[in-house]
Structure 1
C-alpha cells in the first residue's frame, strides 16, 4: 500500500460537488453535485472541476485515479438553468474555466480510469473521454448533444470525438446529438470497454489494479507522450470551437432551445 505523502499530495478539502476516497494506491474521485441526482454541471460544480483537475496534477500518493459518477449518472452535462444565466459579461469566465478543465486534465500524470455506469452527456462525455481508460456499463449511455440546444460542442467534444473515432463517425454523433450505448461506444472505439452491469465494479477495479501494479514512471510518461498528440489538436481546435460555442450561446436558436425544454415542446430553429 502506498504511503500518502501529505506534504506533497493535495488534501482535496472544501469541495461541495466532488467527493474523494483513498483506497491504497487508488484515489477515487466522485462527481456528487448535491443539487442534482443527474450530476448536471452548474456554476459551482464547473468552478470545482477547474480546481480538482488542477490539484490532481500534483497528486503524488496514488498510482491510479478512478473517476465515478453518482448512482444515477456520470454527468448529464450542463445545467439548463445555469445556461440561461450566461451573458456577454460571463462568457470570458466560462471560456477560461472550460479551457482550464481540459488542459489541466491532459497534464495529470497519474493514469485515470473513468467509471461510467450512467449517462455521460455533453460536458459529462468530455470529462469521461479525457480519461485514459473509459469503462462503460451496458446500461450506460454517452452523447454530445450540444446541437440539440443550439450550441457548438466547444468544451472539447468537437476535438476529442474526431480524434477517437475519426471525422465521419464524429460528425454523425456531434451533428445529430445521437446517443450511444456502452456496447456501441466500445465497438467504434470511443471508449475502452463495455461490460455487463453486474460485472461493472469488478471491471473498474481490475483496470485500477492493473495500472497500479505497472511501472509508474513508464505509464505516466507514456500517457503524457500520447496526450501531447491530443494537446496539439486542442491547440488548433479548442479555442476555435470554444469561440464558436460562445457565439451560439448568444444566438436566438439557443434561447429557443432552452424555452422549448422548459415548455416541453420541440424547438423551432431559425439559424439566428
Structure 2
C-alpha cells in the first residue's frame, strides 16, 4: 500500500495491524473535500495491502470526526463546489469500500463522531470508543437528508424506534449509552482506551484469517443487499435536500453563529 497517496489520512503499521488516522487538518477533524475523496479509495487499497490483516480506523485528537466541513458546504451553496453527481459517486465508494473489505475493520473512536464521521465508525465491524465520545447524525439540523449511510446503519444496530429519534432530531448519544443500546461494541475510559484497542486488534491479527474474513463477508451479506437496494434513494434524497432554502439557511446560520430559522422549504 502506497502511503504517499494520502495527504488527509495518516497510515502506519504495527505488526499485521494497519492504522488509518483521519487527519484532515480541519477543526475537530471535519471531513474536507480532499479527505472525502481519499476515503473513497483507502479501504480498497487497505483490502489489497499484503502486509496487514486488520485495519484500525481512528481520528486525530481531540475528535474522531465532526462530520462534513461546513466551509466545504458553504462553497457548495455558492455553486463553487464539485457537482453532487461526483460527490455521490464518492459516497458510494466509501460505504461499499467498508462493507466489501474482507479484513476486519476496527473503529477506534477517540472523540466525537458526528455526521459522516458517525457513519464511518458505525459501518466498521467493531466500534471501540473512549467513554467521553459522542455519536450523532445531525444532517437534519443542516436541512439535509441523512443520505451517506446513517439512515441505513443506525436502524440495523439499535432498531427503528430509537434510530428514528436520533436521526430525526440529530441529538447526540454518549458512548456509554451507545454501548448499552448496542450502537457500538465497547466504551472504555480514556486511560484504558488505546491499550484495549491495540490488544483487540492484535487478538484479531492472531486469528485464522481466512475464517475471520469469510465470517465477516457472510455476516455482511444482508447488510450489503440492503445498501444495494436502498442506498441510491438515500443519496438522491440528500442531493434534493441540498436544493432547499432550509439547507442554505442552515449553512448561513452556522457561518454567522446563530440559530437557523427554517421555513420548511
TM-score range, shorter chain: over 0.9
Q: C-alpha distance in 2, partners of 1:268/1:237?
A: 31
Query: Residues 208-233 of structure 1: CA distance to partner in whole angstroms, max 9, x if unpaired?
Result: 01111111000011101111111111
Deviation at 1:62, TM superposition (A): 1.0
Asked if 1:160 corresponds to 2:142, the answer is: no
Q: Which residue, out of 130, 154, 160, partners 1:137?
A: 130
Aligned residues: 262
Residue of structure 2 in register with 1:57 after alignment: 47
- Residue 192 of structure 2 corresponds to 199
C-alpha RMSD of matched pairs (Å): 1.2
Decide which structure has greater helix share.
2
Contact 1:59 1:110 in 2 (8 A): no
- SS state at 1:205 partner: helix
Equivalence map 1:1-272=2 (5 Å): 10-34=1-25, 36-86=26-76, 87=79, 90-272=83-265
Q: Aligned to 2:83, what secondary structure does the other structure show?
A: helix
Tell me the distance in 2 between the aligned counterparts of 1:270 and 1:76: 26
Stretches of structure 1 lacking an aligned partner (at least 5 in a row):
1-9
- Describe the SS at the equivalent of 1:57: helix
Native 8 Å contact 2:41 2:97 kept in 1:
no
Aligned with 2:129: secondary structure? Answer: strand
* Partner SS state of residue 221, structure 1: helix
Unaligned runs of 5+ in 2: none
- For residues 30 and 259 of structure 2, the distance between their equivalents in structure 1, rounded to whole angstroms, comes to 21
What's the TM-score once normalised by structure 2's chain length? 0.96
Q: CA deviation at 1:89?
A: 6.3
Please give the alpha-carbon distance, in whole angstroms, between the structure 1 residues aligned to 2:16 and 2:97. 21
TM-score scaled to structure 1, two decimals? 0.93
How far did 1:59 drift?
Answer: 2.2
Distance across 2 between alignment mates of 1:89 and 1:194? 37
Report if aligned partners of 1:66, 1:113 keep a CA contact under 8 Å in 2: yes
Distance 2:51 2:62 in 1: 29
Q: Which runs of 4+ in 1 moved over 4 A?
A: none
